Structure 1
């Protein structure tokens, strides 16, 4: 029996017991397989709940369980590492019709995936503070740490994420979000829409000063650079 066929049967409530699974008496092991089927679905739902706590809070337990069940059956795990399950959950939410009246939900899920990716990213060592005082710094290109992620949203996703954890009610509009990992826990910092252009330029090897020229007029460049520095986001400085 192929692994994917077995997994598909395990995730489909009305699917028959896979051929070859029998009891010691030679009968189909329906009862035992149903126990296994229930356990695997519960485990996957628990993994999604742990990975997307803000989503679960925003929609409620019952809605989240129903949505997670649909996702699990459409997207069985491809890796045995359960903490990484659900990477494409945001895309699923964006297409999930019952969540259509919550258009910001997929972006909040994207933020949670990015925070998780940052948490699991490889460790790196930030540049020594002395190198950041180089008068030629803005003529150099900077290398960003593998823990750095970003996303753009039409909604105040960091506020929505904080609201789900007991914070204030969201206000305002779209955000570009920079994720850094100064120690062990990732941080999400909101910036004005358009800030991602700076990050993409830095990623592509553009000099810091030239990349900064792409910033929106509303960007506090001091705060932006301070977030990169305090987040240990710069791991090398190189000549262009």
Structure 2
């Protein structure tokens, strides 16, 4: 019996007990395998529940377990580190027909998984204030400057009020006052050992995303204002500096793109 056959049977409740198994005490192998199969599924569902707490609260425990069980059977872990399990869960939620009545559920899941990524991201030393000040003394060169952001930083743009929904389920806002259909952009970043989520304007989110993709400062400003919005990067840069999310700055050498 191959490991693939065993794993497939483990996640398919309709599959028979794999051949070739034996119990040391002569007990019913099929019954013991069924118990083991159930325990594996339950433990994976619990792992998802620990990561996607707001998703679970939005739909209720029974619905969440149905949703999570369906995901587990379709997308078992590919790593022994369960902290990372669930990266595909938001896309699964978006395509899960019974969840169609809660259209913001997938983006809330994306926000919650972004917290996982931020929490486990590598550490990085913030850019010294003196180094940044030196660049600011040559404003004519700033458009070509490339900024490296902290690896624990990400942004997420959504047509739904994902930041407010998340905050309400942390006791930071009243859920009854949240309009879930108000577009919001989230900035997710780790500070010390905690992950913070805050709302930022859509142009600022585009600006940060452009910097993360490797765009120079001038290009990032242009992308932020791509919809015709007048964008001044001062406030956004101030936020990144204040939260120590800038870790490096470099001017491309002559001939570099």
TM-score, length basis structure 2? 0.85
After superposition, residues 74-89 of structure 1 pair within 5 angstroms as: 74-89=74-89
- The C-alpha deviation readout for 1:91-135, integer Å capped at 9, x for no partner, is 000011111010000000001111111111111111112223232
Q: Which residue of the partner structure matches residue 214 of structure 1?
A: 223
Contact 1:176–1:194 (8 Å) recurs in 2: no
Q: 1:133 to 1:165 in 2, by over 3 A?
A: same
1:131-146 to structure 2, matched below 5 A, reads: 131-134=131-134, 135=136, 136=138, 138-139=142-143, 140-146=145-151
Q: Whole-Å Cα distance in 1 between the matches of residues 160 and 99 of structure 2?
A: 16
Asked if residue 51 in structure 1 is aligned to residue 56 in structure 2, the reply is: no
* Residue among 168, 178, 181 paired with 2:174: 168
For structure 2, list consecutive stretches of 5 or more residues without a partner in the other structure: 253-257
8 Å CA contact 1:123, 1:146 repeated in 2: yes
Partner SS for 1:102: coil
Q: Counterpart in 2 of 1:227?
A: 239
In structure 2, do the counterparts of structure 1 residues 163 and 25 end up closer, same or farther at CA, with 3 Å as the change threshold?
closer
Distance 1:56 1:215 in 2: 34
Residue 126 and residue 73 in structure 1: after superposition, are their counterparts in 2 closer, same or farther (change >3 A)?
same
Shift of 1:44: 0.2
Q: Which runs of 5+ in 1 are unaligned?
A: none
Aligned to 2:223, the other structure's residue is in SS state: coil
> What is the aligned partner in structure 2 of residue 42 from structure 1?
42
Distance 1:205 1:38, change over 3 A: closer
Change (3 A) 1:154 1:219: farther
C-alpha change, 1:129 and 1:8, in structure 2 (3 Å) is: same
Aligned counterparts, 1:95-114, within 5 A: 95-114=95-114
Which deviations, in whole Å up to 9, do the C-alpha atoms of 1:5-28 show, x marking residues without a partner?
Answer: 212211222211111112347786
Q: Does 1:237 align with 2:249?
A: yes
2:199 is aligned, of 190, 209, 228, to 190
- RMSD between superposed Cα atoms in Å: 2.1
**CA-CA distance at 1:53 after TM superposition:** 0.5
Matched-pair contact (CA < 8 Å) for 1:148–1:179: yes
- How far apart in 1 are the matches of 2:240 and 2:147? 11
User: What count of residue pairs does the alignment treat as equivalent?
Assistant: 240
Q: Which residue of 2 aligns with 1:120?
A: 120
- Do residues 151 (structure 1) and 163 (structure 2) align? no
Kindly indicate whether the alpha-carbon contact (under 8 Å) linking 1:174 and 1:192 is maintained by their aligned counterparts in 2. no
Residue 205 of structure 1: aligned partner: 214
